[in-house]
Amino acid sequence: MVKAITDQNFTEETKDGVVLIDFWATWCGPCRMQSPVVEELDDDMGDQVKFTKMDVDENPETAQNFNIMSIPTLMIKKDGEVVEQLVGYTPKEKLEQVLDQYL
């Protein structure tokens, strides 16, 4: 299951290994399309990648710090550093290819 994270625990939860953060909101249609893709990849790759999600309405500080202007935005961090950012719906195959680069 994809772990929901907050402004308060963002740094701690995303500091080690490869982490995908799904920035989303409940009212966002493309976010609702992206969510099952992220869940499926968590099932497939959860032993190699930590999958997280952050509701931008409930946690505006982190989204603001990273200049998240559109959602869904998928951010990939490796060992605490942002290495990739994908804006808009990203199909499973593309997301898998991107993640594989950082494993």
The residues carrying an active-site annotation are 28, 31
Rounded Cα–Cα distance for residues 83 and 14 (Å)? 12
What is the Cβ-side half-sphere exposure of residue 76, based on CA atoms within 13 angstroms? 19
